[in-house]
């Protein structure tokens, strides 16, 4: 029997579900007080038997409990994705973006298909499966009538292992033959082969490389963000026009926006911030877990409590963001410049404290290319109704950890013949 007991109000709510304490943090102050100032206590993850034991994803940093193993994996990932290293990947990201533009040009009606979505996010959503609340369930046999989660787990486990191991093994084979291209995986393999404890080094290397392929941590979030961007542009044509005017003035027509232009494109950057704020892709926060008893402003928080930052309510606080449901990049512009004082949505959308997203620099570069390139090259319009009026798009969202908009229709067309030719030309060059 599932029982829920709730206490507290406003921005700090404590809930008990089947004996499990859960604290929901509804303001930036609460989230920072606990997850950042007291990060030694609040940086673990809740046990997730579906993911860790059944699917066998205990090699994934983002799901590991706080401790030495997590620290080792985080350090290993950090060396390849810290802010100083990420600019090295920009050439590859630019080429990827050119390809994406080419696909959009070829078949604009399939703009959602040019993004990538894996249903596995369902599995990393704590509480999505009863087994996460009742770990004993993991021992029931796969053929048991209600054990569909176990059957899914068998498929996902193999999929996860293939995703981690196949590209790694292929790179290793090429490396041994001296044919591997420079990559995160080949750098790691080079180190493994020199390590006295090759077996252990190999385990860490393949986990880092798998995350490094940004398959798990990255693609769902980037896909969800891109969908929200299309949605915001289709519903707000004046925002789109304003961004395109800025792009035309700063970049001109003969080339695509580049990283060096970013500083002169405050409105385009404000759109990225506003997409993070308006429809955060992890709206109910990535849960943390406390590792010792604590007392906070008169509340006793027992060890093992699940702590959930309510990202949606923080980013929709009308005291910080006027008319929060409105898509309004101008809220981040002051005197023609980007002004994020006390309101940068990325301080919230990428999580908190010691568990803050490790892919944020890589993601930011990627999102800048997606948004600026699409805006420079295409017009995005909502479909029209029988009277010729634009339809207000309002898709449903999935309820997983990463909240993804369901598919929706949009008219996407090149802004001009010149832009069309530029895309084709860039593809020939790459």
Tokens standing for 156?
């996902």
Smallest separation, CB 259 to ligand HEM (Å): 17
223 in Cβ contact with 100 (< 8 Å): no
- Would you call 349 helix, strand, or coil by DSSP? helix
Q: How far is CA 93 from CA 69, 119, 164, 273, 288, in A?
A: 30, 24, 21, 20, 31
User: Does residue number 167 form part of the binding site for ligand HEM (CB under 6 A)?
Assistant: no
Of residues 216 through 235, those in contact with ligand HEM by CB under 6 A are 217-218, 221-222, 225
User: Does residue number 281 form part of the binding site for ligand HEM (CB under 6 A)?
Assistant: yes
Of residues 20 through 39, those in contact with ligand HEM by CB under 6 A are none
- Cα 344 from Cα 53, distance rounded (Å): 37
Shorter beta-carbon distance to ligand HEM: residue 351 or 414: 351
Smallest separation, CB 227 to ligand HEM (Å): 11
Count of C-beta atoms within a 10 Å radius of residue 257: 22
Smallest separation, CB 43 to ligand HEM (Å): 8
Count of C-beta atoms within a 10 Å radius of residue 375: 25
Closest CA to 120 of 81, 84, 152, 73: 152
- Cα 415 from Cα 57, distance rounded (Å): 44
* Contacting range for ligand HEM; rule: CB under 6 A; set: 96-104, 110-118, 152-160, 354-362: 354-362
User: Does residue number 282 form part of the binding site for ligand HEM (CB under 6 A)?
Assistant: yes
Tokens standing for 103?
């696909």
CA dihedral of residues 267, 271, 274, 278 (deg, nearest 10): 140
Which of 32, 52, 61, 226 is in the footprint of ligand HEM by CB under 6 A?
A: 61
User: Does residue number 405 form part of the binding site for ligand HEM (CB under 6 A)?
Assistant: no
Smallest separation, CB 285 to ligand HEM (Å): 7
* Contacting range for ligand HEM; rule: CB under 6 A; set: 100-108, 260-268, 320-328, 345-353: 345-353
- Cα 201 from Cα 195, distance rounded (Å): 7
User: Does residue number 314 form part of the binding site for ligand HEM (CB under 6 A)?
Assistant: no
86 known member of a binding site: no
371 in Cβ contact with 272 (< 8 Å): yes
Tokens standing for 223?
């896909």
How do strand 306-309 and strand 378-381 relate by DSSP bridges? unpaired
Distance of CA 51 to the CA centre of its chain: 18
Which of 211, 272, 306, 423 is in the footprint of ligand HEM by CB under 6 A?
A: 211
Smallest separation, CB 282 to ligand HEM (Å): 5
- Cα 24 from Cα 197, distance rounded (Å): 43
Shorter beta-carbon distance to ligand HEM: residue 62 or 310: 62
Smallest separation, CB 49 to ligand HEM (Å): 18
- Cα 43 from Cα 36, distance rounded (Å): 9
User: Does residue number 357 form part of the binding site for ligand HEM (CB under 6 A)?
Assistant: yes
Which of 44, 62, 305, 372 is in the footprint of ligand HEM by CB under 6 A?
A: 62
Smallest separation, CB 93 to ligand HEM (Å): 11
User: Does residue number 72 form part of the binding site for ligand HEM (CB under 6 A)?
Assistant: no
Which of 24, 104, 363, 375 is in the footprint of ligand HEM by CB under 6 A?
A: 363
- Positions touching ligand HEM (CB under 6 A) are 61-62, 74, 77, 81, 211, 214, 217-218, 221-222, 225, 281-282, 286, 288, 349-352, 355-359, 362-363
Residue set of the binding site for heme: 357
């Amino acid at each position: 029997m599932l029982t829920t007991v709730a206490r507290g109000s406003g921005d700090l709510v404590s809930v008990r579900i089947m004996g499990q304490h859960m604290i929901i943090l509804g303001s930036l102050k609460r989230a920072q007080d606990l997850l950042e100032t007291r990060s030694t206590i609040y940086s673990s993850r809740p046990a997730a038997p579906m993911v860790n034991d059944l699917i066998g994803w205990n090699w994934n940093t983002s799901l590991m409990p706080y401790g030495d193993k997590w620290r080792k994996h985080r350090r290993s990932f950090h060396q390849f994705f810290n802010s100083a290293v990420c600019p090295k990947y920009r050439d590859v990201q630019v080429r990827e973006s050119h390809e994406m533009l080419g696909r959009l040009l070829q078949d604009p009606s399939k703009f959602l298909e040019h993004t990538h979505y894996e249903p596995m996010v369902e599995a990393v959503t704590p509480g999505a499966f009863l087994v996460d609340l009742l770990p004993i369930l993991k021992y029931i046999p796969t053929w048991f009538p209600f054990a569909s989660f176990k059957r899914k787990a068998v498929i996902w486990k193999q999929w996860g292992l293939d995703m981690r191991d196949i590209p790694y093994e292929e790179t290793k084979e090429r490396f041994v033959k001296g044919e591997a291209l420079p990559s995160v995986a080949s750098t790691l393999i080079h180190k493994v082969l020199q390590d006295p404890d090759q077996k252990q080094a190999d385990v860490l290397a393949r986990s880092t490389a798998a995350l490094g392929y940004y398959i798990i941590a990255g693609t769902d979030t980037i896909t969800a963000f891109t969908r929200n961007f299309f949605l915001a542009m289709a519903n707000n044509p004046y925002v789109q026009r304003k961004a395109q005017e800025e792009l035309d003035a700063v970049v001109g027509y003969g080339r695509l926006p580049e990283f060096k232009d970013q500083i002169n494109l405050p409105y385009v950057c404000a759109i990225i911030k506003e997409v993070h704020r308006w429809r955060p892709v992890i709206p109910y926060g990535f849960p943390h877990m406390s590792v010792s008893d604590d007392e906070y402003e008169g509340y006793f928080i027992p060890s093992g409590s699940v702590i959930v930052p309510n990202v949606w309510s923080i980013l929709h606080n009308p005291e910080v963001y006027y008319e929060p449901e409105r898509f309004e990049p101008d809220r981040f512009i002051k005197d023609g410049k980007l002004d994020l004082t006390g309101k940068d949505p990325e301080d919230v959308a990428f999580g908190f404290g010691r568990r803050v997203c490790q892919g944020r620099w890589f993601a930011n570069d990627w999102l800048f290319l997606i948004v600026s390139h699409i805006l420079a090259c295409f017009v995005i319009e909502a479909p029209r109704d029988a009277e010729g009026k634009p339809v207000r798009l309002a898709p449903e969202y999935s309820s997983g950890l990463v909240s993804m908009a369901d598919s929706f229709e949009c008219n996407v067309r090149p802004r001009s013949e010149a832009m069309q030719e530029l895309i084709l030309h860039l593809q020939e060059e790459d």
